[in-house]
Chain A
Amino acid sequence: MAKSIASEFTKGLWNEVPPFRLVLGLCPVLGVTTSMKNGIGMGLATTFVLLCSNVLVSLLRKVIPAKVRIACFIIIIATFVIVVEQMMAAFAYGLFLDLGVFIPLIVVNCIVLGRAEAFASKNGVFKSTADGLGIGLGFTWALGLLGAVRELIGTGSLKGDVFGMITWDFQNIFGAAFEPLGFAVQAPGAFVILGLLLCAMNLIPSK
């Protein structure tokens, strides 16, 4: 138990950032990152589910019988996913339409179940909170970065907001002569750019 709470939090941000280091949860990574805004929105939604399910699983870890633990985890995760979906529809309807089927799909995101099974069911509440938050924010920045790269190459601009609180709008970053490469925002472009980012991440050694 040498690892501190802080290190549980920071590992998710860099050493174990899910899409790049663990290469987990790639379905939303490829599916929704057509823009930075969608990537960050999806990341934050996943962070919420991850955080809440980690806390609850950790609190209930002594009560949940081992044989039905997966079923219990899924009930907990599914509940929070529906909460996210309903809240998003009620308060951020535009984002809800953009993310579409990928919000209910958070329930089968293997990162969420993976953290519940591998971490929260074996560790205390504080560590699990730090772990959920760290992994979630790592997922968010990874999706945001991939979304930003794809949006930049695909449209030449960056435009969006996070729940209406933070907005950004950069038009024609490469100058007006830049010809947007539509390939980047299509599905095959997601694979190519994810591959290139993975490659770049591997050039930077993890400790």
Chain B
Amino acid sequence: MGEMIKMVVVLTVLSIVSGGSLSGLKVFTEPKIENQVMNLVKGPAIRQILEAADNDPVEDRFKITDGEEERNIFVGVFDGTADTVVVESSANGYGGKIGMVVAINMVEEKLRGVAVTTHTETPGLGANAKSDPTFAAQFTGKSITDSFGVTTDGGQISALSGATITSRAVATGVNQAVETYKELKPQLEEQINSMGK
């Protein structure tokens, strides 16, 4: 019986110490990791799709609460007006979650650009969603009133060859981003106005 109690106590204490120190570590590393992701993955992707913007969209970002989630929203200024927002979204691809950023022109209600940020798709096939610019370019300029889909499903986006699942996931992700944008639009406009740009 004594040994039994000792086992339970040792395992419990170990787990508590381990869990406690890890949550402490998370508090310390979380902002740093977010910065790294912002600088090295999302930042370049966002700057690329908003290349013509007058501001730095990565710097002009704010957080908005959507239900339980906090979302990063990036604002792009074109010709003196802050008319573009970038929404993040993700969808399940062939090898896991595909993260992407979707830029929406709020005045014309059109997509200004789409870029894949994080993914674990097959190199040479699905990974082309990120590396082949012609794929993502298909979204640019499309109106957000219709939802997007690949041509095999009757949509308007031609899939990457050999990577229909990935292409479908990107279309789904874009649809989700548009959905989020439509839901949050009043809040977004308010926030952008308060930024005074």
Return the CB mask of B6-32 against A: 1 if under 8 Å, else 0.
110011001100100110011001001
Stretch of A64-72, A115-123, A163-171 that contacts chain B: A64-72
Instruction: List, in ascending order, chain B residues with CB within 8 A of A67's CB.
Output: 3, 7
Contacts of B25 in A (CB 8 A): 82-83, 86
Measured CA separation A93–B29 after assembly (Å): 12
Give A96 to B120 CA distance when docked, in angstroms. Answer: 14
A76–B15 CA distance with the chains assembled, in angstroms: 9
Question: 0/1 per residue, A80-116, Cβ < 8 Å to B?
Answer: 0011001101110110000010000000000000000
In the complex the two chains form, is A82's CB within 8 Å of B29's CB? no
Report A-chain residues with C-beta under 8 Å of the C-beta of B52. none
B184 at the interface (CB under 8 A from A): no
Is B10 touching A63 in the complex (CB atoms < 8 A)?
Answer: yes
Contacts of A87 in B (CB 8 A): 29
B36 within 8 A of A: yes
Q: Do B33 and A72 touch (CB < 8 A)?
A: no
- Contact check, B18 vs A75: say whether CB atoms are below 8 A apart: yes
> What's the minimum C-beta distance from B34 to chain A, rounded to whole angstroms?
9
B18 adjacent to A86 (CB under 8 Å): no
The reply to whether A68 and B33 form a contact with Cβ atoms under 8 Å apart is no
B85 to chain A minimum Cβ distance, whole angstroms, is 26
Interface residues on A, range: 20 to 34
Q: Is B7's CB under 8 angstroms from A75's CB?
A: no
Please name all residues of chain B whose beta carbon is closer than 8 Å to the beta carbon of A7 when the two chains form the complex: none
A79 in the interface (beta carbon within 8 A): yes
| Chain B contact residue count (CB 8 A cutoff) | 19
> When A68-B7, A94-B40 are in contact, do A75 and B29 touch as well, CB less than 8 Å?
no
| Chain B residues, CB < 8 A from A91 | 32
B195 within 8 A of A: no
Chain B residue numbers with a CB within 8 Å of A83 are: 22, 25
- Inter-chain CA distance A79–B25, complex, in Å, is 11
Residues of A within 8 A of B10 (CB): 63-65, 68, 72
Choose one: A71, A79, A90, A100; the contact of B36 (CB below 8 Å): A90
Which DSSP category, helix, strand, loop or mixed, fits chain A's interface? helix
Complex-state Cα separation, A93 to B41, whole angstroms: 10
The complex places the Cα of A72 from the Cα of B8 at a distance, in Å, of 11
Instruction: Verify A90–B29 contact, CB threshold 8 A.
Output: yes
Verify A86–B11 contact, CB threshold 8 A: no
Complex-state Cα separation, A63 to B22, whole angstroms:
22
Q: Which residues of B contact A75 (CB under 8 A)?
A: 11, 14-15, 18
Contact, CB under 8 Å: B36 / A93: yes
**Chain A proximity mask over B101-138: 1 for CB below 8 Å, otherwise 0:** 00000000000000000001000000000000000000
Contact of A72 among B11, B21, B40 (CB under 8 A): B11
Residue of B nearest to A73 (CB): B14
The minimal Cβ–Cβ distance linking A188 to chain B, given in whole angstroms, is 15
Which residues on A sit within 8 Å (CB–CB) of B26? 86
A67 to B3, CA, bound (A): 9
B contact residues vs A (CB 8 Å cutoff):
3, 6-7, 10-11, 14-15, 18, 21-22, 25-26, 29, 32-33, 36-37, 40, 120
Interface residues of A (CB under 8 A from B): 63-65, 67-68, 71-72, 75-76, 78-79, 82-83, 86-87, 89-91, 93-94, 100
- Apart from A72-B10, A86-B25: 19 A-B pairs, beta carbons within 8 A: A63-B10, A64-B10, A65-B3, A65-B6, A67-B3, A68-B7, A71-B11, A75-B11, A75-B14, A76-B18, A79-B21, A79-B22, A83-B22, A83-B25, A86-B29, A86-B33, A89-B29, A90-B32, A100-B120
6 A-B residue pairings within 8 Å (CB atoms): A63-B10, A67-B7, A68-B7, A83-B22, A90-B33, A93-B36
